[in-house]
Amino acid sequence: MICDSTSVRTDIARLGSLDVKIGLYGRWTTKRMNQHSQSKSCVAVLLIAHGSRRPEANHDLVQLAELLIARRDYEIVEVSYLELTTPTILDGGRACAARGASKVLMLPYFLSAGVHVVTDLKEFQKQLAEEFPQIEFILCPHLGLHPLMADIVVARLQEGSPVSAT
């Protein structure tokens, strides 16, 4: 299977029982690949958030995926959630595999290294690696205290404080 982000209908015809999941997530990966993108190595990004019962909160991750897709840095971008909503992490990893990923970068969209980041996500990585031994699943560092985080915090603080009319 090649790295492919062609139409959802093609994925549905090819994947059988996985078609519903691919069909639901395909809206985030609408870019058609040219012949050069059908290379031997295809890197996918699996964004992982906690998940919420509030759909608007979950939509933040979808918007981030859309921003990454627009940048065209990665062939495949999928979203997933640890709990409370779908797609699950296993669903997202399977979607990457079904689309031809040879490597999946699992990015925890978490600010702190709590139990989920330190323990739970490693278990999902292990499960996916066992299910798809031909694919490399790499658990990336969580967002945490990246140096750019201070810039983001300052920007948000500036957005929240009223501008003085002097």
Four-residue CA torsion sign, 140, 142, 146, 152:
positive
Average pLDDT for runs of 10 along the chain of length 166: 42 32 39 40 96 96 97 97 98 98 97 91 98 98 93 95 65
pLDDT score at 37: 41
Instruction: Tell me the catalytic residues.
Output: 50
Return the closest-CA partner of residue 46 out of 136, 154, 113, 115. Answer: 136
Question: Any idea of the CA torsion for 164, 161, 65, 43, to the nearest 10 degrees?
Answer: 90
Using an 8 Å Cβ cutoff, are 106 and 122 in contact?
no
Strand partners, 44: 76, 104
Fold of 8-160: Rossmann fold (3.40.50)
Can you give the pLDDT at residue 10? Answer: 29
pLDDT of residue 164: 58
